[in-house]
Amino acid sequence: MISLTIDGREIQVPRGTTLLTACRQAGADIPTLCYDPDLRLAGSCRMCVVEVKGRRNLVAGCVTPAENNMVVETESPDVVESRKIILELLLARHKLTCHTCESDGSCKLQDYCYRYGVTDSRFTGEFHDGPHFSKEDANPFIKRDYDKCIMCTRCVRACEEITGAQAINVMNRGHHAKIATIFDGNLEDSPCVFCGQCIMVCPVGALTSKVAAGKGKSYQTEKVLTTCTYCGTGCTLELNVKDDKVVGVTSVRDENWSPVNRGALCVKGRFGWDFINSSDRLTTPLIRENGELRPASWDEALDFTAAKIKEIKGEHGPDSLAMFSSARVTNEENYLAQKLMRAAIGTNNVDHCARL
């Protein structure tokens, strides 16, 4: 263990602890934009800078190891000034449309500007004709509004490290640097799998869900924890519910609540929820009579099916029947399905969609 003083408070941490972790342990609230505990460190946003006694420059807490006898100030005048100026620099290139932004209320840039009283930027420039980064991307899922991008590169790292798609990276340099697919094309023409992990990690409104757009801001929706039903993996997701309707799906990244996927989802889990309130959705079984489908009760449908199965078995034998099961049901249900075929019907004709 090493000991250091943070904002006048002495604490002990194991060797190898970063200053960010140590400061948070000491109760200091350190702002971060590029830091993400699940992603490799970047050390680039410089919001987590703190002052270490004896060091000429401020150091980024997320990438600086705590050292024995360090004396750290987390809100010294230089620290606060640097954070304010960084926020002003980011505001100067940021499309300030908070009132219609999907991330309003869950935006780190907004939160930190509020915290440090940054209402305006002195660096907006004389002509307001700086480069624009907006990107029309005709895909049904992910809205890319890079005029709101703060270049934290969390999306790039999530795409590479969580999903493994490597669909996006930084192109160009300096102030012209922006997030792009290869040759700056659309996501559809890239290795993007539309998992939306980039949306999950984006701290601002640069990447948002097109499916949930306009249906409710974060603070207007109730969050209901549930398990995705699309496949047997069992990913935890969070339904965003407003007026008893599902208006979005977000991630829960806490390992305790989301042990299987830690927030990561696939395109179906994250974007494929609009069927819930769809008028096309089947809500009762249907029985075909004279070429027409009519609604039926579950009892009637099950009786009808059982009678038909018995009839076929009697006429053609048990091997004339087969069960085709689904990855959308649980292991236990799949077990029961094969049991039904083997024990009740008497056939080994059992297969599963996941095998195809």
Partner 1 sequence: MAEELRVLLQYADQINPESADDYVKVGGYKGLEKARSMDRKALIDEVKKSGLRGRGGAGFNAGMKWSFVPQDAPIKYVVCNLDEGEPGTYKDRIICEKNAQALLEGMAICGTAISSKQGYIYCRGEYPFVVELLKNAIKSAKASGALGDFDIEVRMGAGAYVCGEETALIESIEGHRGEPRFKPPFPGVEGLWAAPTVVNNVETFACLPNILANGAEWFAGIGATRYPGTKIVTLTGDIENATYFEVPTNVTLRDVIFTLGGGVKNGKKFKAVQVGGTSGAFIPEQNLDTQIDFDSMGSIGAALGSGAVFVLDETRDIVDVVTRISKFFEHESCGKCNPCREGTFRLREIMEKVNAGRGTTQDMDNLLLLSKVMQKAALCGLGQAAPIPIESTIKHFRYEYLRKI
Q: Which chain residues interact with partner 1 by CB under 8 A? A: 41-47, 49, 57-58, 60, 63-65, 78, 81-82, 85-86, 89-90, 92-93, 122-123, 125-126, 130, 150-151, 169-170, 172-177
Containing 248, the helix (H) or strand (E) segment is strand 245-250
Q: Which is nearer to partner 1, 39 or 42 (CB)?
A: 42
For 216, the token pair is 């409710």
For residue 86, the minimal CB distance to partner 1 (Å) is 5
Q: Which is nearer to partner 1, 9 or 132 (CB)?
A: 132
For residue 41, the minimal CB distance to partner 1 (Å) is 7
Cα separation, 101 vs 42, in Å, equals 26
For 51, the token pair is 């002052």
Closest CA to 162 of 44, 42, 265: 265
For 206, the token pair is 């640069």
For residue 65, the minimal CB distance to partner 1 (Å) is 7
For residue 156, the minimal CB distance to partner 1 (Å) is 11
Q: What is the DSSP letter of 188?
A: G
Q: Are the beta carbons of 51 and 33 closer than 8 angstroms?
A: no
CA distances from 201 to 159, 193, 226, 328 (A): 10, 16, 20, 27
For residue 253, the minimal CB distance to partner 1 (Å) is 24
Cα separation, 327 vs 351, in Å, equals 11
Q: Which is nearer to partner 1, 45 or 211 (CB)?
A: 45
Burial 207-228 (b: 16+ CB within 10 A, else e): bbbbbbeebbbeeebeeeeeeb
State how beta strands 2-6 and 71-73 pair. Answer: parallel
CA distances from 170 to 76, 109, 174, 175, 210 (A): 33, 20, 11, 12, 23
CA distances from 233 to 133, 254, 312, 334 (A): 37, 17, 35, 14
Report DSSP letters for 126-159, one per residue: SSS-----------SSEEE-GGG-----HHHHHI
State how beta strands 236-242 and 222-227 pair. Answer: antiparallel
For residue 33, the minimal CB distance to partner 1 (Å) is 8
Q: Which is nearer to partner 1, 49 or 252 (CB)?
A: 49
For residue 5, the minimal CB distance to partner 1 (Å) is 21
For residue 126, the minimal CB distance to partner 1 (Å) is 5
For residue 124, the minimal CB distance to partner 1 (Å) is 9
Q: Which is nearer to partner 1, 4 or 60 (CB)?
A: 60
Q: Which is nearer to partner 1, 9 or 176 (CB)?
A: 176
Q: Which is nearer to partner 1, 41 or 267 (CB)?
A: 41
Q: Which is nearer to partner 1, 80 or 312 (CB)?
A: 80
Q: Which is nearer to partner 1, 177 or 241 (CB)?
A: 177
